[in-house]
Amino acid sequence: MDETQRAAFVISQSICCMAEMEAMKAENDARARRGYTQAFTSNQFMELPDKYGLGHNTIIQFLNQ
């Protein structure tokens, strides 16, 4: 993978991460409107970057390959 391809991959992973985050937020909002507890906690939101390989050190290593 060249530099441009690595950057494109990071961007695509970021978009996937954001899509999942927005779905989680929507589910929490829907449950709140129905008077239920949240389906997703703040810890689960904080785990998303690592799930998609978007931690700072991971990205720096990946882009410097």
Residues 33-64: tens digit of each pLDDT: 999 999 999 999 999 999 999 999 999 999 99
Rounded CA-CA distance 26/35 in Å is: 14
Mean pLDDT of the chain: 97
pLDDT at site 47:
97
pLDDT at site 56:
95
pLDDT at site 54:
97
> How sure is the predictor about 4, in pLDDT bands with cuts at 50, 70 and 90?
very high
> Given its phi and psi angles, is residue 30 left (phi above 0), alpha (psi -120 to 50 degrees) or beta?
alpha
Rounded CA-CA distance 12/23 in Å is: 17
* Percent over 90 (pLDDT), the chain: 97
